[in-house]
Amino acid sequence: MKILVIGTGYVGLVTATGLAELGHQVTAVDIDFKKINKLKKGIMPFFEPALKPLVIRNIQKQRLFFNINLKNFLDKSQFIFICVGTPPKRDGSADLKYIKQVVRVIGQNIKESKIIINKSTVPIGTGLIIKKIIKKYFPGEINVVSCPEFLREGRAVSDFFHPDRIVIGSDNQKAIELVANLFKKIKTEKLKTTLESAELIKYAANAFLATKISFINEIANLCEKVKADVQIVATGMGLDKRIGPSFLKAGIGYGGSCFPKDIRALKQIAGGNGYHFRLLKAVIEVNYFQRLVILKKIKLIYPRLKNKIVCVLGLAFKDLTDDVRESAAIEIIKKLIKQGAKIQAFDPQAMINAKKVLNYRIKYCQNAYEACKNAQFLIIATEWPQFKKLNWQKIKHLMKNDIILDGRNLLDKQKIEKLGFKYIGVGR
């Protein structure tokens, strides 16, 4: 099938590449000329494991193309995927301006019936808005399908080809079946439903996962009061099949481009429809205050942080990505800087993006050992697996004091303490 993907951000590029790998002929368009030129050469705009070789392979097989001219490919494509951003407004609601811009161009330039598939995370009712806008310019039949993405940064390629489910929503059954056929090589549950239900599923799923994270963080804070270990508690909870072990890892809170934005948006959607979503309000508050927990622990050790050298390992909001959006690490660093601390930081992938946010207010180090040199204490802010494998005996000699604040409960507490460190985790 000939497919057009609009937007080469995280969702768009992974979707376009995945569809090409399934055997479709895919053109991905974007208004960013420099990005498109780089993509044609196989240069990635962000770090995502396993994506680059797939992009290069499908370019070479002439199944994946990149262009900046949207209008030229609208009538050459049977299916049009919308994968543009829906950034939050000040009140937390999703801003649909980019979707509306794209949809107007589609309506003004198509000459025959199309199936438009929305991959962007949007409020309930957006599918009907898309159809209404197109109808202003195009009198023929138009079918809008909601096919939300469930891609985890750092694991997106695997998630595309081995998803838990594919959700397809529309008011036209034929359109649903045609879109389902695009993914026929992927063996998983294909949930076929209405536009509204499909649009809500993505928000509901993210909100539930965020709720699990906030819940286990609350349990972690209680564990510290009653001398329990949150890791043991979480294991015991996760063995219950009704609960499961996923997203029960205590730490300094969730971040990234999806959870914070989507949960605030769902809260606004509920409020806009006359429902006060009390639970989501609490989830958001818990996540915000969880980032302050690590700072409270620091203040107990060092009431005054002026000129204290702090090593921060990890800048991305999670491992296996270079994304620093809503990163707890970045927020903690900002608060430490305000209190006069001198930050030495290292991240395997997120240094460039961190510089865009923090500029040169901190020292960016070549490796973890450089970041640890002469530090009064060390914070693990991102759960990069390679941090586990560091030579911690060497780090002990490099640091001025031997205090580790493990914001992700990444390290083995007993082993670290045997080396002579003072170990402080979350809920341990």
311 is catalytic: no
Please state whether beta strands 114-118 and 142-146 pair in parallel, antiparallel, or not at all (unpaired).
parallel
Instruction: Give the separation between CA 61 and CA 89, rounded to whole angstroms.
Output: 41
CB 99 within 8 A of CB 80: no
CB 11 within 8 A of CB 119: yes
Instruction: Give the separation between CA 353 and CA 40, rounded to whole angstroms.
Output: 22
Nearest to 252 by CA among 295, 207, 222, 298: 295
**Dihedral pair phi/psi, residue 78, rounded to 5°:** -85, -30
Q: Say how many C-beta atoms besides its own lie within 10 A of residue 62's C-beta.
A: 9
Instruction: Give the separation between CA 208 and CA 280, rounded to whole angstroms.
Output: 9
Return all residues near 360 (Cβ < 8 A) that are at least 6 apart: none
**Which amino acid, one-letter code, is at 269?**
I
Nearest to 164 by CA among 153, 184, 150, 178: 150
Instruction: Give the separation between CA 261 and CA 255, rounded to whole angstroms.
Output: 9
Token output for 232:
């043991």
Nearest to 419 by CA among 400, 405, 402, 398: 402
State the DSSP H helix or E strand holding residue 296, giving kind and residue range, or none if neither. helix 278-301
Catalytic residue among 83, 147, 223, 258: 258
SS3 of 195-242: the string is: HHHHHHHHHHHHHHHHHHHHHHHHHHHHHHHHCCCHHHHHHHHHCCCC
Instruction: Give the separation between CA 110 and CA 103, rounded to whole angstroms.
Output: 11
- Its sign, for the CA torsion 355, 358, 363, 366, is negative
Q: Which residues are known catalytic residues?
A: 258
